[in-house]
Amino acid sequence: MAADKKITSEPDRNFKLIGIATPERDYRLCYMLSEALDWDLVRLPNHEVELKERSLKMSLSVFRGFHQLTHTTFYLFANKNMGELLLPEAGNFDYLLKMEPEYKGTKDLLKKIKQIDAVLAASEITVKTLKNYARLGYEEPVEKPEIEVKRKGK
């Protein structure tokens, strides 16, 4: 008999990534990014990542913005929580800005981010070199509409 084969697919690498180093809290950084880039960043439910090598579940803040002209979605992830890192390869950065699909104006965006006073450093991270890039796979929860059930009778 033939052995059962599992079909696995590699997570999509069709995104760009910028690392941001700053001592600011997430909501302050979002405010500064919104001011500098004319974005509306919205807080989403925390990003839950299971670290299999440590049998640990990590919960990180995440924010989303959308650029109408390029149809690019921006996700700002906290990279650090309680001594653990979302991307150990980017340990120098406090936050990760994921742009999907790949954003064409990355250099201009990076220049604007570096001009923010509270940003100590910002740099593009090459996605192809990341070992743990799949940890950036965030699925937004879909809100279910409330259904009202009416009973017949009294």
pLDDT digits (tens, 9 = 90+) for 87-116: 888 889 999 999 887 778 889 999 999 999
pLDDT for res 141: 64
Q: Which residue has the tokens 């919960």?
A: 59
Domain ranges of the chain: 16-136
- Which is higher by pLDDT, 7 or 3? 3
Between CA 80 and CA 128 the distance in angstroms is 21
pLDDT for res 14: 76
Distances (CA, A) of 91 to 19, 68, 80: 9, 31, 8
26-37 and 106-114 helices cross at what angle (nearest 10)?
120
- Which is higher by pLDDT, 68 or 7? 68
pLDDT for res 75: 92
pLDDT for res 1: 46
pLDDT in tens, 21-74: 999 999 999 999 999 988 889 999 888 887 766 667 888 899 999 888 888 889
Distances (CA, A) of 106 to 29, 37, 91, 134: 18, 12, 21, 21
Identify the three-state secondary structure at position 135. helix
pTM of the model: 0.79
